[in-house]
Structure 1
């Protein structure tokens, strides 16, 4: 039954039409139905209605979603973003204002260099657009505009985001825009523009202005826990098993036994494991056929890693202790007999999804038995 329920929930999420990150995550909310002539008219009514957090246009009817008291408490909790980023508490999107003046392509590459899915801002709903406009309106440096991620450079009039998706779900063009050219120069890149009330304007791509980078909402699949700094999702397999079996079960979940490579990840996993009653867990280190300790995920030597936390006297290089065990109470590492049965911690990037490979019925039953005992 659990398998069926989760499968249905995944199917529903795939078929959902709402753009991830453009949904108002606060709840509960009141709904108000008013008349509207268009989607823009509906949005205008939302903008002019106190505590309106989102809207939906349905054939001359406009549904306004008004935040209730409980939803305000949820919103005020804020959203976890990396240092230097600001979060939209309604959608969960994270933004960074890059003050350096640069052309559009440089801005695109600059945003990508931050990692974790960062990109020039891709605005798919009024909630994120209004949030950024409010931030830019407080700009004391009086910059004329800020780059976002839209362009029609590749096909005139066909505006797309940097990931190739169309600029169509939501737009906020200033009246008369996009114009296409100015003073004999093509205007193929998208920006928020101060003189146009921070509405959208097409600009020559060589113009040097600051930019807005964005990390879309990050969310792990059900049962997994997100480290928002690294973009890694974790799950505990509570059923005790030998190291090889634990790794195989992680792989079947399109993940690996966890590799602790940074102090930040160490601190996060320490908190993640803290409520557990178990003291020892399998993690992803083992001795390879050359006698060296390596991370099983990519066979890289543990000795070359920037971070390690071996217990005193470890590793012992005993022939019978060739797999890596983590002690929860002090987060120290120990070599252990690979046949010992322990719970395990799996990890995968948030960009990875559950494996699409066909599993046997036996494997499916086995995985769901393990997950039914996992920490959620």
Structure 2
């Protein structure tokens, strides 16, 4: 089954304006089944609520601790952005199709108290509902008119929350199958659009980001996990230097040969610890061509200095704000 993944750029102090939204969509348009931004993840795989909860608990890029969770949509920004992401994964249908499974996404709220099915218990009380992180919903809510209504189906109650293309909340049965959204704590947004280093730099900037930094062995490991999740597993049939095997990063020595910095001007302190593919960095140059001034990382964790030219188009990684 093809899995579609979208993440959302709603980190602290970061909201997408119209220009950045177009930049984000451009980053994601050529991904093969996975789309990434920064704080929320939407998987289009159709699963029931319990399965969605388990999958999110195991989705822990950025923590490595197995403590992920279904999305906590506790403010207007996250609710609006989750609506946007669902629209990017699935086409909005007309009124006749509004209840179809792909028109809703599981979020991490469920009713944990007063579940006896009585008329009194069916009245909405925020203290009865809980986000996956254990918090009760506060003032923010987007329930559809008349919801939650806590209908019964045999022994099953509508104790789980889903969100529509229109950003409306509904309670439903946990055996229903929908896409699902997880919180994301990682640093990186990856794009499979084959680009030169300069094109990759510009594409990240149009989305309000910058080409990524990898500053430790731990961040290399996170980058490789993110690549496997968002770009798909490495294709073992490819040759070493085939484009999909390499990811552009934001390192360069174009300003001063041999002095490597990140594109924001900060030094690459990790330089001596990098696992360079021998004999790199070699600054090899074709006759009459520019030198190798651009940093990339292989899908197996080796670094290379390379040309910023039309002959070197590769996937690339952008850095999430504040990371």
Q: TM-score, normalised by structure 2?
A: 0.46
Bigger relative contact order (CA 8 A; separation at least 6): 2
The two structures have a TM-score, normalised by structure 1, of: 0.41
